[in-house]
Amino acid sequence: MQKIIFETARDVYDQMKPSWQGNREFLLAQVIGLVEKVINSDRIRISPPLFNQDELRRRILLTLNMTKIVQHIWEAIRPENTEQLVPVFDNQYPIRSTGDVRTWYTGKPCEWAMRSHINFAVYDSTWEASEAFILDNDQNVEAWVKNDHLGFDILYVNNGVVRKYRPDFLIRLKNGKMLVLEVKGQDSQKDKSKRSFLSEWCKASTTQGGVGVWEWDVSYNPSDVHEILLQHNHHNNPITN
């Protein structure tokens, strides 16, 4: 069990090390203590429960799921150690616009869009097409765009690797807010990690000022889109998901 604790602590420490300004030995000692508490607590639930009663089986499962445990611990530590959220803008293109998008060719299905600056919207699924139709006709929407060839990507960390996350739709509501809408069938831990970073991006951009109020939401079915738009359009204060 000590080997599992030390290896998990090492991986968490590796993710924290680049941004840590204090004593690294002290940090490592704290991380080891925290990981030991988590692994020996009832916070890790094993299914079927029978595996939790056998120490050998429990150790095997913990070893096989070490990456997932590290991710959970890291995501719990990171916001607690963040003093202030500051947006980091692209040096070359700090502000992007639909007016910057050049003509491109695609074999994907596309439809004419009335409330989008880009006259045709490209869809990856009939589900996306249904949601786009609603956006194009909903009275809460001032304008919208399918996030394709816009360069709007959110950086996030998953399993220690920096990746890019590209939400589905960007919407300007009638009340002036900007809404980032993701279309999702089923959630995974990777999706939750993406949205954690998206939430931070929206908060940081709104707090920074100059780019308006940004919020985000997830649609799990085309039938919930109108209610999402209504909720964000009728609240003047930022909605925290």
If 0-12 CB within 10 Å is exposed, 13-18 middle and 19+ buried, where does residue 201 land? buried
pLDDT band for position 95 (cuts 50, 70, 90): confident
CB count in 10 Å sphere of residue 67: 13
Q: What stretches of the chain adopt beta strand conformation (E)?
A: 110-112, 120-122, 141-146, 154-158, 161-165, 169-173, 178-183, 214-219
The band of 226, judged by pLDDT with boundaries at 50, 70 and 90, is: very high
List, for residues 48-58, the tens digit of each pLDDT value: 777 777 778 77
The residue among 156 and 206 whose pLDDT is bigger is 206
Q: Which band of pLDDT confidence, cut at 50, 70 and 90, is reported for residue 89? A: confident
Q: Whole-angstrom Cα distance, residue 40 to residue 49?
A: 15
The most confident of 103-112, 147-156, 216-225, by mean pLDDT: 216-225
CB 174 within 8 A of CB 142: yes
Q: DSSP 3-state assignment of 208?
A: helix
Element (H, E) at 226: helix 225-233
Q: Which of 42-46, 165-169, 207-211 has the lowest mean pLDDT?
A: 42-46
Q: Hunting for tokens 């990171």 — which residue is that? A: 78
pLDDT tens profile 154-163: 888 776 667 8
Q: Summarize the confidence of residues 25-48 as an average pLDDT.
A: 74
Does 34 have pLDDT greater than 90? no
Confidence band, pLDDT 50/70/90 cuts, at residue 151: confident
Amino acid at 27: L
Q: Which of 127, 136, 134, 121 is nearest to 228 (CA)?
A: 134
For 3-56, the DSSP string reads: HHHHHHHHHHHHHHGGG--S-HHHHHHHHHHHHHHHHTSSSS--SSTHHHHSHH
Matching residue, tokens 């150790």:
59
Residue-range domain boundaries for the chain:
2-80, 98-233
Of 214 and 58, the one with more pLDDT: 214
Q: Does domain 98-233 have CATH number 3.40.1350?
A: yes
Query: Is it the case that residue 31 has pLDDT exceeding 80?
Result: no
Model confidence at 169, pLDDT cuts 50, 70, 90, reads: very high
Reading the block at residue 208, the tokens are: 């920074």
Is pTM beyond 0.85 here?
Answer: no
Which range is least confidently modeled, 85-89, 165-169, 193-197, 233-237? 85-89
Task: Please provide the average confidence, as pLDDT, over all residues in the chain.
Answer: 81
The 3-state DSSP class for residue 74 equals: helix
Alpha-carbon distance of 145 to 96, in angstroms, equals 13
